A and B are shown apart, each in its own frame.
Chain A
Amino acid sequence: MTIDNTPVELVTLTIDDIEVQVPKGTLIIRAAEQLGVQVPRFCDHPLLDPVAACRACLVEIEGQAKPQPSCAMTVAEGMKVRTQVSSVMADEAQKGVMEFLLINHPLDCPVCDKGGECPLQNQAMTNGRGESRFDGEKREFEKPINVSDRERCVSCARCTRFADQVAGDPMIALLERGSQQQVGISDDQPFDSYFSGNTIQICPVGALTSAKYRFRSRPFDLVSVPTTCEHCASGCSLRTDIRRGNVMRRLAWDDPQVNEEWNCDKGRFAFPYVQEGRLNQPLVRGEDGLLHPASWTEAIDVAAKGLAAASGATAVLAGGRHTVEDAYAISKFARAVLGTDDVDFRSRPHSTEETQFLSSVVAGSGLGVTYADLEKAAHVVLVAFEPEDESPMIQLRLRKAVRRGRTKVTAITSHVTSGNKKLNATVIATAAGHEVSALSELALDANTIILVGERAASVTGLLTAATKKAKESGAKLAWVPRRAGDRGAVDAGLLPGLLPNGNSLTDSSAREKAADIWNVENNTLPFAAGRDFGAIVHAAVNGELKALLITSVDVEDTQHSASTLQAIENTPFVVSLEIRPSSITELANVVLPVAVVTEKSGTFIDWEGRPRNFGQAIREHNKLTDGRVLAMIADAMDVLLGQQDVAQLRAELAQFAAPTNRVDAPSHGADVPNGLTLSTWNQLIDDGALQEGEPFLAATSRNVIAGLNSKTAAAHSIAEGDLIEISTSLGSITVEAIFVDGAENTVWLPTNSGESKVRTNLGAAHGNIVTIKRGGGQ
């Protein structure tokens, strides 16, 4: 990260007779905050353009006849500002505005969601008059938009400005005029935004409420805990509000370096899974072939015996949802206890090229490209990466950068998406699988950042090309995975051939150090690189494995769901660590329930490489972490790993020094598919397992369609709106065709939405060849 050394020009002014120096361009309201003076405000928001509409923040400025809005006026040298603290003019103006704001405000406080945490309540107390002088009739509105109480609205335009400026989804607007002004949506365009929840949070009154939280709780009943979002690698800082052991809601928390004050609707609303339908007790498959509840002692014993008996033919499938501490515990368990290097977190499509890329470029590299870098970059190139769906905070940060006019975005992707339109991106429409040449042709320089997404793994040569391009041009390169635990898994060594912190398993000195830290004999550790996820599945299908340890894997993520299930069926002994029942737990011999993110402490490493620590939010449930459960199994296998609590795991991981001999960077040539290819990625709101149980969120997911170029469609006699069938040798998907502005000879499908279950029904990855035809299974 480069440090900006440009000196800041300071301006000296007085506020309430106190001299203060602030950077040129600072708004008066912000300067006053630095002195601890809180000027009342409603429309003001530090991350939105000023509107000066509510007039709550009026202050006196010497030499000006009228009070001025401090939220819209910048400081000037020698300016003399007087706030309500020292000016009758300011105080009266503010009180007057507050009185006006209250005349039409309903007396809903006792039933309003905002009651108790309401800027209007608070500021009416601090800057209002005690008694109401209004004795007329209050205005009323009908309630056509769901979950909005328009009587409560103070017309601050925060919600509309957020939607327009920050999210780029201007589907809500202020309508009508005068005292009839109100927030509304158009009749034919719903407020379909991935970020709508933020408007609820920044509304300074209870006019916008969440369908889920409405009338559910009062702020003073809630215990608030700072947490980190588990849903993607953006790394949002959240606040989780808990009542009697249950999560009531989640809010975006302020972290200027990462998510600023925003988050996405998935992070905000997708939490019912933490309390509904959980596995609460260990299960062991009995003689009758059925799973039966068992005690922890029994279950651990069965697991330990089964794994020990399979020694030499075990493998670990880890998934991408772990904290770095748990990932590390799994990585260690595989090598030190099971003695296997057949371990991989990449349940989604991957490649040996990617293994090499992650091991050589990403693992243990620490903080790399940051959000702040994105904001400063002259040029950002998105390669096989759709930020709005795959890392929404990158989308918002890029939009901010683009709106400032200093940053341009180029996207190498199959078609123009709503997301890259909001970034004003230059789209290099590229059929899936053909990205290598598109990237190679770009002229880049050192002021460029290349962001490469997870689907790059299934385009041969692309990660090689990205690495090379960055090296040649001086551009910075960052890998943006989709899952919150992906980056931590790489750092923890959950890849074949990779030890923690980027050390290579085949580097004998690194292996020795690992044995030392793990307190095991050097020769118990595997010394040849093992199999990756796909190869493990392949081996298991062929009956080559005796036992599998599976933690947090969804078969719907894997290249071909049926093969994965087949692999599990063909493996004699399977231990599953899970939070909820799944198609894998159904097939396991031992099922061990583990803690969800709210029930444990830990760290996610976001895409930047920034550790996002969080504490335990809920203590009531007594759930064990993966690390603790594995320690118990190890114990039963006579390998003493200690308690493996989070502190221990963190301390151990820190002992892994930076690698001296890195794995070589990949050097794969392009292998261009010859035929019509599948472009696919997961939409933000889809059928992901952790989004279950939230119908309001699911309702905001996008329509399930196949997107294709009109010429390609014509070549297959497909008209817009036709049902089309997309197939591979493994199966087919039938959905409606919609024309997109994109490359020919490629068809886009959402990976895991409704009818479009790409892994289950097609067994295909991004860039694979598919066939299309009109009609399908009508």
Chain B
Amino acid sequence: MVLTPILTAHWDEADSYKLEGYKRHHGYVALAKALKSDPDSIIQTVKDSGLRGRGGAGFPTGMKWGFVPQNDGKPHYLVVNADESEPGACKDIPLMLANPHALVEGVAISSYAIRANHAFIYIRGEVPHVIRRVTNAVKEAYAAGLLGQNIQGSGFNLEVVVHAGAGAYICGEETALLDSLEGHRGQPRLKPPFPAVAGLYASPTVINNAETIANIPYIIRNGADWLKQWGTEKSPGFKLFAVSGHVKRPGIYEAALGTTMRELLEHAGGMRDGHTLKFWIPGGSSVPMLTEAHLDLPLTYEDMAAAGTMLGTGTPMVFDETTSVVKAVSRWLQFYKHESCGKCTPCREGTYWISGLLKRLEKGEGQETDLEKIDELCQQIMGRSFCALGDAAATPFPGAMKHFRTEFEAGVRTAADIAFDPAATTIFSKANV
């Protein structure tokens, strides 16, 4: 397998984040092309390309755009979801840092396609340097007449607002994000109505992940078939795979969808010396974990689903044998408890309860019945909560139990820190130098 540097092609150039650097490599050519064509034809091209959303669920992007009612007399909005807060996910942030203009150009083209004259880029609040960079890119684009009124004489107007989140994972959920953008407390909204019909300010709204939108200029410039040269029929294209954890060279590897984890591991230099893979997670903490046995599966939406997990954000986390799976799951549950928005009962109360039970298992103070109880509680959340955060919270434990039951059973008596030397798992452990 080879890497497919497209979004990442010029990250090593000193001015990759500047308009000049971006333009040097056909930047904003796609926008000019788009502005000369019919918006519907752009939607059609995106549909034909088979591009799927990179925010986690893999929803076909062109189809989403097609849901927006036309000639309805209401303003339309494009909202870019760059709240990237999922544990393990780190792809949108580097993308925006190194190649913000791909996003800005994508925003302009996408807005034109869905007839939006206002677009918002919602960036997680904890990354001010990224917010600054995207803000500057937007400024540059305005100054160059690539955003604003009558863009390049086309008569198309677009105002772009970069909005900083305030530090809540739930605000990455698209409807909670809309509430947050409107100035409310971020909690998911009841659907229907769906955002495509009544989203931001009750007007038709498209919400896409930052990576999804950054794909658009390349597709428009090169055509739908160009994207299909990579990946599978159901998962065409390439992906920013952000590999993290106990590998020698963690980082972003842009490769075709369908690449295997084994190949990605090779690119990342393999496991730390002297260590072996224990488990890995294909796309953020919200998807079930896999093991060595799954290393040769193609990383596509459909193959991951068939293996009982999800491609998710496509940001594999890799753990070696020094890791206590009990501790890892316990950490994730604390995260979900902390990030639960509180709206619905199963997630609000379930994460409170399960995280408490896991904490005591982690300390070796669990009770015999705890494992069964946690498992049942996870089932009581799964599929019953208001939004996918609850489901995500109910995911790590059953997934981990499938592969590492005995380790959890030990938690009734043995503290995780005794079973697994906490120092050995860190990047500064001797094993790593």
Contact = CB atoms under 8 A, between A and B. Distances in A.
Nearest to B349: A100
Contact of B190 (A50, A54, A67, A173): A50
Contacts of A175: 185
A179 B345 contact: no
Nearest to B353: A103
Interface in B163-200: 168, 170, 185, 190
Interface centre among B339, B349, B357, B383, by most A CB within 10 Å? B349
Interface string B343-358: 1111011111100110
A482 to B, nearest CB: 38
Nearest to B338: A178
Interface stretch (A133-141, A203-211, A245-253, A763-771): A133-141
Nearest to B340: A178
Interface stretch (A91-99, A436-444, A465-473): A91-99
A176 B384 CA distance: 22
A56 interface: yes
Given A67-B383, A100-B345, A104-B349, A177 B170 contact: yes
Given A53-B343, A55-B344, A178-B337, A104 B384 contact: no
Interface in B225-241: none
A96 B385 CA distance: 11
Contacts of B384: 55, 58, 66-67, 93, 96-97
Range of interface residues on chain A?
35 or more
Contacts of A177: 168, 170, 185, 339-342
Contacts of A174: 185, 342
Contacts of B339: 177-178
B380 A99 contact: yes
Contacts of A52: 190, 344, 386
B373 interface: yes
Interface in A53-108: 53-56, 58, 65-67, 72, 92-93, 96-97, 99-101, 103-104
A54 B385 CA distance: 9
A56 B346 CA distance: 9
Contacts of B348: 100, 155, 178-179, 181
A178 B386 contact: no
A72 B193 CA distance: 12
Nearest to A42: B345
Contacts of B341: 177-178, 181
Given A55-B384, A55-B385, A67-B383, A178 B346 contact: no
A122 interface: no
A163 to B, nearest CB: 15
A179 B190 contact: no
Contacts of A97: 345-346, 380, 384
A154 interface: yes
B353 A100 contact: yes
B337 A100 contact: no
Contacts of A223: none
A656 B201 CA distance: 58
Nearest to B369: A133
Contacts of B352: 103-104, 139, 178-179
Contacts of A104: 349, 352
A92 B382 CA distance: 12
Interface string B382-413: 01111000000000000000000000000000
A181 B342 contact: yes
Contacts of B170: 177
Contacts of B337: 178-179
A51 interface: yes
A509 interface: no
A717 interface: no
A194 B16 CA distance: 60
Interface string B91-135: 000000000000000000000000000000000000000000000
Contacts of A103: 349, 352-353
B81 to A, nearest CB: 19
B383 A155 contact: no
A186 interface: no
A134 B47 CA distance: 50
Nearest to B186: A177
A524 interface: no
A181 B344 CA distance: 10
A134 B353 contact: yes
Nearest to A64: B383
Contacts of A101: 345, 349
A135 to B, nearest CB: 8
A427 B195 CA distance: 34
A34 interface: no
B386 A55 contact: yes
Given A55-B385, A99-B380, A155 B342 contact: yes
Given A100-B350, A179-B352, A54 B344 contact: yes
B345 A178 contact: no
Contact of A96 (B338, B346, B357): B346
Which residue, B344, B356, B357, has most C-beta atoms of chain A within 10 A? B344
Contacts of B373: 133
A180 interface: yes
A137 B356 CA distance: 9
A175 B185 CA distance: 8
Interface string A157-183: 000000000000000011111111100
Contact of A51 (B168, B190, B379): B190
A174 B185 CA distance: 9
B190 A178 contact: no
Contact of A56 (B340, B345, B350): B345
Nearest to B382: A66
Contacts of A66: 383-384
A96 to B, nearest CB: 3
B77 to A, nearest CB: 22
Nearest to A93: B384
A176 B340 CA distance: 10
Contact of B351 (A56, A176, A179): A179
Contacts of B190: 50-52, 72
A102 to B, nearest CB: 9
B349 A55 contact: no
Contacts of A72: 190
Given A177-B170, A178-B348, 5 more contacts: A58-B384, A136-B356, A137-B356, A177-B168, A178-B338
30 contacts: A51-B343, A52-B190, A53-B344, A53-B345, A53-B386, A55-B346, A55-B385, A65-B383, A66-B383, A66-B384, A67-B384, A92-B380, A97-B380, A99-B380, A100-B345, A100-B346, A100-B380, A136-B357, A155-B342, A155-B345, A174-B185, A177-B185, A177-B339, A177-B342, A178-B339, A178-B348, A179-B342, A179-B351, A179-B352, A181-B341
Interface of B: 168, 170, 185, 190, 337-346, 348-353, 356-357, 373, 379-380, 383-386
What are the 8 closest A-B residue pairs judged by CB atoms, nearest first? A181-B342, A96-B380, A100-B349, A66-B383, A178-B340, A179-B352, A136-B356, A177-B342
